[in-house]
Chain A
Amino acid sequence: MKKIYLDYAATTPIDKMVLKAMEPYLKEKYGNTMSLHSFGQEAKIALENSRQVFANAINAKPNEIIFTSSATESNNLAVKGVVFGVPRLKKITSARPHIIISSIEHACVQESAKWLERGFKVTKIPVDKYGVVNPKDIENAIRPETILVSVIHASNEIGTIQNITEIGRICREKKVYFHTDASQSFGKIPIDVKKMNIDLLTASSHKMYGPKGAGILYVREGIKLVPLLHGGGQENGLRSSTVNVPAIVGFAKATELCQLEMNREGKRLINMRDRVIKELLKIKGAYLNGHPFERLPNNINIRFDFIEGESLIMRLDMEGIACSTGSACSSMKLEPSHVLLALGLKPEQAHGSLRISLGRFTTKQEINKLLNILPGIVVELRKLSPYGK
């Protein structure tokens, strides 16, 4: 049985061209970027060329790009690095320094903020039933002691895209730093940090056909960050560690490919996405989670009355189709997703949700098979359920 992968939001396969670009750096070009000899120079050149690719992709300067090991690290560095860098400068009031996040952040932003609660105030901004943050709510939550606002660009679970430009404008006006986690959106929809008023931005390699183990944090020039990792002073002292050149070269290649194909691939995915949504909503007791059109081209999140998500994905898996209930990180947690609850869903509704995420290698045939099989599984699981009879 040929397996069908529809969990591109969890991670993606590496593109062949990316692998090819990485290969020399795994084999003969193995130098350390900090070495002075030719091996080191070669690695350093590859690193700086890669940095330029990211700068071009988001309209930034190369020195504003920091390489990290993952989106989790970038988000930790953004949230903690900014708030640790600022408090001494911002002794305007005696109040505890304050940060604002949305209620649908990825766990790495949410948990970083939670950890900071020992010394900082944290406000979580609610979302509407589509998962949209109202920029006005951010504006109203900003206080004199607010340091940072962090709002995810596009939700990893429900795909909803936020009005980042407007939130950024408000933050700029109020002189508050603005960070956005673009792990799911980078490479899929256009990002311009200048036009969108972004101060810090996170992106991840393995969500866009690059290797695992690479991420970036864009930090606007002039923003003082405190590093999480101290050591040899790589990445301008902001991220000590021997630089993972092969992964970064791969990430850069993946970025080039995504930038090149963004328009066409976006349209192709939106067509498939909307067909899947339309067909699945024909099932009785099926509802779309997230925004009908302000959503990632590849994200589908549907909930079905009276059945539970894990059962659904395991039955699909038995048919060779890989999907997920929500964030892959929470697949073995028992609590319903905080993102779905933030939409106002009841826990039992949140438990019945299915995330289908499409990607570069998704074909029409695969979608046909999904649409053939899924309705039958829903019927069978409902037969087992005590509800809805």
Chain B
Amino acid sequence: MENNVYTKKVLKTFKNPHNYGTMKNPDGVGLVGNPTCGDVMKLYIKVGKPASAKASARQGGEVIKDIKFETFGCVAAIATSSIITDMVKGKTIKYAMNITKEGVVEKLGGLPKIKYHCSVLAVDALFKAIKDYESKKK
């Protein structure tokens, strides 16, 4: 029998999500999921240069200055959306590209197995937003 109970961290994050809402003039947008399946995530990012050359050398490139999400979906979808924005806000793109679904699940103290796909969606949305930013940059 599988455990289908959400962790306290998941429920807390779901109840008080961070960084939600729309963003004006985002540098990158990632839209993933499908309303048919009941989960749609939209991530917006704003990318900036590090404060100084020194900081740039230390941090290694561009930084996700701001991030916002909009999600249609279940408790897990909303919680993973919120947690991934916390995980990458203020971090470099390089750091963000190394986020994994396992990392997201771990940050939430676990997810019911049937809801693992929500963590995949969150990571996909993030990567898609970064890709969108990079394609626009060219």
Contacts and interface: CB of A to CB of B under 8 A. Distances in A.
Question: Is B truly associated with A?
Answer: yes
Interface stretch (A214-222, A243-251, A307-315): A307-315
A318 B70 contact: no
A384 B36 CA distance: 18
Nearest to B2: A332
A311 B35 contact: no
B20 A332 contact: no
A384 B70 contact: yes
B71 A347 contact: no
Given A318-B11, A348-B38, A386-B40, A311 B17 contact: no
B38 A386 contact: no
Nearest to B14: A314
A383 B82 CA distance: 14
A277 B77 CA distance: 29
A332 B1 CA distance: 13
Contacts of B11: 314, 318
Contact of B35 (A334, A347, A383, A389): A347
B4 to A, nearest CB: 5
Interface in A50-83: none
A43 B72 CA distance: 55
A29 B36 CA distance: 54
B38 A351 contact: yes
B38 A336 contact: yes
B91 interface: no
Contact of A387 (B21, B38, B72, B78): B72
B72 A334 contact: no
B35 A385 contact: no
Contacts of A311: 14, 73-75, 78
B14 A308 contact: no
B15 A318 contact: yes
A307 B72 contact: yes
Given A314-B11, A386-B40, A334 B75 contact: no
Given A307-B72, A311-B73, A311-B74, A332 B40 contact: no
A1 B37 CA distance: 34
A307 B77 CA distance: 12
B35 A351 contact: yes
Nearest to A310: B74
Interface in B20-73: 20-22, 31, 35-42, 69-73
A39 B114 CA distance: 49
B112 interface: yes
A306 interface: yes
A332 B112 contact: yes
28 contacts: A308-B38, A308-B72, A308-B74, A310-B74, A310-B75, A311-B73, A314-B14, A314-B75, A332-B4, A332-B112, A332-B114, A336-B38, A347-B36, A347-B37, A348-B38, A348-B72, A351-B35, A351-B38, A383-B20, A384-B17, A384-B71, A385-B70, A385-B72, A386-B31, A386-B40, A386-B41, A386-B42, A387-B40
Interface of A: 306-308, 310-311, 314-315, 318, 332, 334, 336, 346-348, 351, 383-387, 389
The 3 nearest A-B residue pairs measured at CB? A348-B35, A386-B70, A310-B74
Interface of B: 4, 6, 11, 14-15, 17, 20-22, 31, 35-42, 69-75, 77-78, 112, 114
